[in-house]
Structure 1
Amino acid sequence: MEGFNSNNQKAYLSLRVETKVPADNSKSLWEEIRTTGHHPTRRSYHSAVMWGDKMVIYGGQDLKEGPQSGMWMIEISQFDQGDWEEMKIPDIGPLCRHTAVLKGDLMYLFGGTNSHREFNRTLVYNLRTLQHREIVPDNPQIPPALDSHSACLYEDGTAAWMIIFGGYSIGERTNNVYLLNLNTEKWKQAKISNGPEPRSNHSAIIYRDHMYIFGGTSDEGEKLNDLWRLDLRTYAWENVVGIGNVPSGRSGHSAIVFMGHMILFGGMKDITKETNDMYSYNFATSEWVMFQYEHQIKDPVSNEQLEEFKKSRISPNKHANPPKSPMIKKSTAELSPGQSTMRKNTDSSPPDTINPKKKKTLYEGPPCQTSGRIRARPPHPRDGHSAVYSGNIMIIFGGDRHQMPFNDCYVYFLVENTIKTPINIPLS
């Protein structure tokens, strides 16, 4: 365009952002939840379900301290919340990268790893009585040992099903689909073809007799951004090509369903590149909308605290045999082609009862001992977090960034107009 120089272009683009592209107002819909007293340690790749107004988390991992054990519960409503409570349950050992679905008062846990071995067991916890048992299958179609897979609850009018997809199985990623009939407690493997490529740390949700799979990490270590739909009546896969602002490839993100939309939050785009951006996907129109761009949030600890913490972790003889982490992130999520994910047992204890020794950690809870909510404070970029929802609120807990796990908790108020309104990344 004649006479349209670089200064004019910057002015035009600035005017366009200010006048035609809506600002990112989603930040004001976040609240950080702070509680006093006992609370869960930092963790990622745990499981979470919403039981009434209570969020229930189980297990998880701290990359330096190892896999975690135990169950925690906190009551969260739209405007208020209680304190964290550690539930008194038998200790079955640490577990992470497993999945959980809820049916009534029963929470079904499947798979996962304790960093030394993977599991294919199904544990059932009654959240009202805290009694638990293991489902012992009597048919041969039980899934193999899996971690970093997905699980969804699907009810078709005749039965309730827990649907398992993908994940790691004996060192290889898979794309198999298994279903557990929660009425009969029998497994079956779905006979499918031409589905998505094998993957781990993807997201999965159910919407109107379909399971939707997004993203994850491929066998080549690539971060995927494809969307697949499985018809749960015919077991036919379809690759859904979306329009609009399709999210970039990611793994370890979260997904929920709200008002005919799938809501994506966060995840890992690349090694040490986590995000806290948000997208919606309209099931009716196949349109993607980015309604929150990536926000950089100030760390909850100062540089002085960080240096003091680093010094506290140095042993008197720093050249002595340092303790090895029982799990490192690359071994389960970011492998190069050909690498195995078999976990080696470096402990003489039985693998099912390993309980890593607790060490001093830097960030054990909220940055200050106040109770309540801090408005307009979105979460740090992260992956491996959990997202559950109740009514019009989405609750984010935990996750990690640059191998630093969190145990913070946030509420996001879901607004139909906001999730439908695209925004643009600010000009630098």
Structure 2
Amino acid sequence: MTTLTFRRITTQDPATRPRPRQGHASVFHKGCLYVFGGRVQGSGRIYVNDLWKYDPDKNTWEEILAVNPSQVPCKRHNHTCVMGMDDAIYVFGGQTVSNKYLGDLWRFDLGTQQWSELTQSQPRHSHGAWKHGNTMLVFGGRTGLKPAVYSNEVLAYDFESNKWSTPYSGDDQGRAAAAAGAPHPRSYTSIVKCDEYLVVFGGYWWDGKEHYFDDTFGFSLTSHKWIKLSPLGNERVPHCRNRHGLLPLPSVADGGFMSGMVIFGGNFYANDRGSDKFFGDAWMFGTFVEEPLTSGKWNKVTLLGDIPCPRGHVAWVEDDQVPGRSWMFGGEAKRERFNDLYEVRVEVSAT
């Protein structure tokens, strides 16, 4: 059985914390949580480019101001953040309040508190990103507004060379082989590394009507080929959704070592009823590492403690100091945005 135990954090000074928001991005580094940007609560669309730090030991929030305020990323939401190998936060893509899609990449040095702009890639928002070795891997996202264009491409950014590439083979035949069996182009999804695979679940695309996914795919980081992981039959799977939180499983579980992921929340739009459905459930996809990830299955997760209300667009990141601990901040449901913070304990048992 897998459980998520939530503990809502009440800070020493509730007035000093980030504004309620969605479409933000987070990283956790050397014992502290960092939150950047997003769409905040207010009349109309209000996007921000602020950077906040939460210190669990001190139980305090602090806004981090750039040394040079004229050299900062523009206000945005639906971007991604990852930690580099050099005590720096990397922010990629997103969307502005004027609906401009961004392909810029920024680096924030936590030591000098300075932003620097790096090489650009194709503009996109609502994509997924993950650090793997000395690269940042990016999947999917929306790349065009009119007409609506979505991606199922995997991109790789090399932190050392400051260059973008695709991990597909360079020739057309190799690219076609790698793309065979790829997931449908989509946005509002997340990715995580499980075993040798970059795994994606769910997401959304629009062609005059909204479409949501409940499928799970893995992109092999060795063969550079896609494989469908679920559903492969009539097994039980999470309801289709987008804007869900995604976290890798702790490597050690009661009974052995695990490979897999956990999702929480998300939403979908019921076209027939004309209303949004927000989820407050959690699901695990995984297997013991002695077995291939292709044999993994979805199972419902038990929620304990201070369970958050149903929502989408949460930022959920793994703690780098305490195994099995993670942090979940913010999100949105029915046009209400949140700035609540939860410590989440993930426990996995073979029984």
Same fold (TM over 0.5): yes
Q: TM-score, normalised by structure 1?
A: 0.67
Corresponding residue of 1:280: 284
Unmatched 5+ stretches in structure 2: 169-174, 252-258, 270-274
Report Cα offsets for 1:180-213 as digits up to 9, x if no partner.
Answer: 1111111113333121111000120012331001
Is the aligned partner of 1:165 residue 2:142? Answer: no
Alpha carbon RMSD of aligned pairs, Å? 2.1
Q: TM-score, normalised by structure 2?
A: 0.81
How far off is 1:233 after superposition?
2.0
Distance 2:163 2:198 in 1: 20
Report Cα offsets for 1:369-398 as digits up to 9, x if no partner.
Answer: xxxxxx921111110110011121121100
- One-letter code of the match for 1:248? H
The percent identity for this pair of structures is 24
Unmatched 5+ stretches in structure 1: 1-21, 138-142, 294-374, 422-428
How far off is 1:118 after superposition?
1.3
Corresponding residue of 1:219: 206
Q: Which portions of structure 1, spanning 4 or more consecutive aligned residues, are displaced by more than 3 angstroms? A: 242-245
How far off is 1:40 after superposition?
0.5
User: Matched residue of 1:121: which SS?
Assistant: strand
Report Cα offsets for 1:250-306 as digits up to 9, x if no partner.
Answer: 10001111232301111113342111101111144411110137xxxxxxxxxxxxx
Corresponding residue of 1:409: 341
Distance 1:262 1:26 in 2: 13
Corresponding residue of 2:225: 236
Report Cα offsets for 1:81-139 as digits up to 9, x if no partner.
Answer: 521000012254311110111123111111011121111011011122212211136xx
User: Which has the larger Rg?
Assistant: 1
Corresponding residue of 1:32: 8
- One-letter code of the match for 2:103? N
Corresponding residue of 2:242: 251
User: Matched residue of 2:285: which SS?
Assistant: strand
Question: Could you tell me whether the CA contact under 8 Å between 2:3 and 2:347 is conserved in 1?
Answer: no
Distance 2:89 2:158 in 1: 14
The 5 A counterparts of 1:29-428 are 29-35=5-11, 36=13, 37-62=15-40, 64-76=44-56, 81-89=58-66, 90=69, 91-104=72-85, 105-116=87-98, 117-136=100-119, 143-155=121-133, 160-171=134-145, 172-189=149-166, 190=168, 191=175, 192-194=178-180, 195-220=182-207, 221-242=210-231, 244-258=235-249, 259=251, 260-270=259-269, 271-283=275-287, 284=291, 285-292=295-302, 376-390=305-319, 391-417=323-349
Distance 2:131 2:73 in 1: 24
Distance 2:45 2:8 in 1: 25
Distance 1:281 1:188 in 2: 29
Q: Write 1 or 2 for the structure with the bigger share of helix.
A: 1
Question: Could you tell me whether the CA contact under 8 Å between 1:245 and 1:290 is conserved in 2?
Answer: no
Question: Could you tell me whether the CA contact under 8 Å between 1:223 and 1:269 is conserved in 2?
Answer: yes
Question: Could you tell me whether the CA contact under 8 Å between 2:73 and 2:106 is conserved in 1?
Answer: no
Distance 1:43 1:223 in 2: 23
Matched pairs, number: 302
Over 3 Å counting, the alpha-carbon distance change for 1:65 and 1:170 in structure 2 is closer
Distance 2:137 2:260 in 1: 21
User: Matched residue of 1:145: which SS?
Assistant: coil
Higher relative contact order, structure no. (Cα contacts within 8 Å, ≥ 6 residues apart) = 1
Q: Write 1 or 2 for the structure with the bigger share of strand.
A: 2
- One-letter code of the match for 2:141? G
Corresponding residue of 1:371: none
Distance 1:387 1:406 in 2: 14
